[in-house]
Amino acid sequence: MSYPATTIEVFDPPMCCSTGVCGTDVDPQLSRFASDLAWLKEQGVSVRRYNMAQEPQAFMDNEQVKSAVNQTEGAALPAIVLNGRLISQGVYPTREQLTTLMQSANPAPASVSLTPANQEQGGGCCGPEGCC
């Protein structure tokens, strides 16, 4: 299965690097998630990752992420935005969860005419507490 018109954006909490090798402790979850993202890319998903400690402006530019971060004092991070909709907060989803999410975002197997992610922002069912 491939998901060519799917865009996933990951908004990471402030951290030094994406696996935590330079912090106090290495979190194997982070390596696992980084490799899951690499796997998603192989499936044709377009992946973009933002680290709060490096590109905070991206968090400001996304209204859903911004308000989730503000309401939870940061506990909403990591936040996952799929095709412009905030679909997960506070955890790194497993590969199974990611697969399910991809499938829900691509109901028709060969649908290639989805609207680009950045034009869909703000819409959808997701409140700041997360849903879907």
Q: Is 99 in the site for another protein (CB under 8 A)?
A: no
Q: Is 26 in the site for another protein (CB under 8 A)?
A: yes
* Stretch in the footprint of another protein (CB under 8 A) among 15-23, 99-107, 108-116, 120-128: 15-23
DSSP secondary structure of 59-76:
HHH-HHHHHHHHHHTTTT
Q: Is 32 in the site for another protein (CB under 8 A)?
A: yes
Binding-site member from 43, 49, 99, 120 for another protein (CB under 8 A)? 49
DSSP secondary structure of 88-114:
EESS---HHHHHHHHHHH--STT---P
Nearest to 81 by CA among 36, 33, 46, 31: 46
Helix H or strand E encompassing 49 = strand 46-51
Which residues have a Cβ under 8 Å from the Cβ of 16 and sit 6 or more positions away?
Answer: 22, 23, 53
Length of the chain: 132
Q: Nearest distance from residue 62's CB to another protein, in Å?
A: 12
Binding mask 52-91 for another protein (x = CB under 8 A): xxxxxx-xx-----x--xx--xx-----------------
Q: Kindly list the residues in this chain that would bind another protein in the complex (CB under 8 A).
A: 13-19, 21-24, 26-28, 31-32, 34-39, 47, 49-57, 59-60, 66, 69-70, 73-74
